[in-house]
Structure 1
Amino acid sequence: MRSPRPSRPARRPRSSGPAGGGRGGAPGGGLWLFGTHAVGAALANPQRVCERLLVTEAEHPAVQEATQAGGLRVAPEVVQRARLDDLLGPEAVHQGVALLVRPLPALALDEALERPGPVLVLDQVTDPRNVGAILRSAAAFGAACLVVQDRNAPEETAVLAKAASGALETVPIVREVNLSRAIEQLQKAGCWTVGLDAGGGVLDGVAFENRRVALVLGAEGRGLRRLTRESCDEIAGLYMPGEMESLNVSVAAAVGLYELARRGRLSA
């Protein structure tokens, strides 16, 4: 697999609306999440501090039912759809629901590794939609966590949460200052680090039957940086018999995780 194709960067959030939190931002470090999956997962996450829940009249009956069943920690406020459009921006597919939350607490790598499953490491992947899609695949295939370089990865945003479709609440993101040191820490913890890139073999999940694997993926367009590549235990690509020579980074992550999941399926 060659380095993933570049993706068009997302627009920066704009500030608008009565709460001052257009496109996901809010005063005092808060964050507006939107969409039924992202909001529902946040409400169900005991680690998430929820402050306000805005719903349209159409969505209110379902939300009210959940409230009566004790499933919500914040009372819903019924608003007009136009208010959500103004608050979140015209491009936000909010589905009639928005939730003001606080960012999730930071998690150290050693804490995240207490969770089972493979690990994903992103080397300067900056598109929040790609990171969100990778989180969704990570949740689907039981990954333990997502490791990113702090200064070259998107912050927790509404766009990222919407793309993750709830997985932001279930797969922790570990932010590290030095990615090479993080890879070294993964290796000391027993992970076999595989850089997904051209120039190596072909990723074979069955070959890692008795190993915990950390997949390392490079940035859109640039692939793995030299130091990151040299830090990995091995380099492997994805089997692609067709005419395309590269995949978007989020698609590559999903295919790589599926390949690792094959070992369990074949041995079952």
Structure 2
Amino acid sequence: MVLPKITVIIATYNKVDWLKKVLYGYSMQTYKDFDIIIADDGSTEETKQVIDTFKLNYPVNITHAWHEDKGYRRQKILNEAILAAKNEYILFTDGDCIPRKDFIETHAKYAEKGYFLSGGYCKLNMDLSEIISENDIKSHNSFDVKWLQSKGELGSKNKLKLSVKDSLANFLDVVTPTGATFNNCNSSAWKSDLIAINGYDERMQYGGPDRELGERLINFGVKTKQIRYKAICLHLDHARGYKTKESLDRNLAIRAEVKKLNLKWTNFGMIKDNN
């Protein structure tokens, strides 16, 4: 079985301390046939300086895709990153999600034509998020349940995700009641499928734009595969100042239309409909 070459797209915005931890995680991957595009929604020069420093001595190529900060335009820079991706398979994640060392290998192993993969995450509190260091990531202590518990509070669901492997992880992915949705922190898809539906809907603000993209992929005929307990990342805590009721309501209305009309294509994606 030939595993796909992968482009990892990491969305970020002005959180360099978290982005550093994420990049340490990707430097330790067991699967090496990948590159990285950092989709930057208008961060300051500090983020560029951090990325440039990592690029000097990093095991894979890093591309910094940036546009000017004109408010929340995350879906636009993600679309630009998709089009710029050199590889046939794209793994989406965020600049606050540290990948376990087998993270990309898991996505590569389960990638299959006609499917997208849906992973989950282990959400940490702020104390644990801050305490994890470069050495903790590179030694893999940050994914050890006992180590995490010795440093702070870890919920039971996270303990389970971090503990299970192989056949038990497969079993839990089959029986979990959680749907296999498209989650930008841990999902992957074929570039050709993403282009076929015109990528992300750039009208959407915070609150479900990734789910909406996944719903259109399903309408297009792409099936889902659950890897919630196999592809593990640590979600670092942060504030969400861009979360508003207005954006959530608008996004829900767009998703309702997608469902009602069985839409596959958005006129507000990579290619704009000017009519």
What TM-score do the two structures reach when normalised by structure 1? 0.30
Higher share of residues assigned helix: 2
Higher-Rg structure is 1
Higher share of residues assigned strand: 1
What TM-score do the two structures reach when normalised by structure 2? 0.30
